[in-house]
Amino acid sequence: MSDTDKSNEDMQVIRAGSQNAIKGPEAWFTGTVRIDKMFNAPAPSRVGVAVVNFEPGARTNWHTHPLGQTLVVTDGLGWTQCEGGPRTELRPGDIIYCNCGRRHWHGATDSTYMQHIAIQESLNGSPVEWLEPVTDEEYLAGAVKKD
């Protein structure tokens, strides 16, 4: 076997549409959420990736990430908020880094869907600690920071 053939064995291609979408669990989300693609790299990597689609009004529960999380907004408009901070608008192309251990939530606006790619690492087998739901009052409270 040539070196080229051997290197191709080490590459894994996951074809678009080859994985079943799942409904975002009610224990973790409010509203209609669809997770289209999920991928966890094989050990020793700890990286996981998901494409998450939020219908208007849908959002995550409050949660934290032991090693942080990066979000890449790909479509629609959304909001995110760290506990104690302003609700911030998210637009396509925005990249958001959620700091390690910081309580936060993210999701669609109340009138527009949003899609993002979520990238996070696991610590001791878990990339996230799910907490309580974001109430409607919390979700809609205060002005939205747009810059």
Residues of 96-105 as b/e, b for ≥16 C-beta within 10 angstroms? Answer: bebeeeeebb
pLDDT of residue 38: 80
pLDDT at 2 over 50: no
Mean pLDDT (the chain) is 91
102 located within any domain: yes
CATH number of the domain that residue 49 is part of: 2.60.120.10
Q: How many domains does the chain have?
A: 1
143 located within any domain: no
Higher pLDDT, 72 or 13: 72
- Ramachandran class of 142: left when φ > 0, alpha when ψ lies in -120 to 50, beta otherwise: left
Q: What tokens were used for 9?
A: 């064995």
Arithmetic mean of pLDDT, 2-10: 52
Q: Specify the pTM.
A: 0.88
115 located within any domain: yes
Distance between terminal CA atoms of the chain?
54
pLDDT of residue 4: 45
Domain of residue 76, residue span: 32-125
82 located within any domain: yes
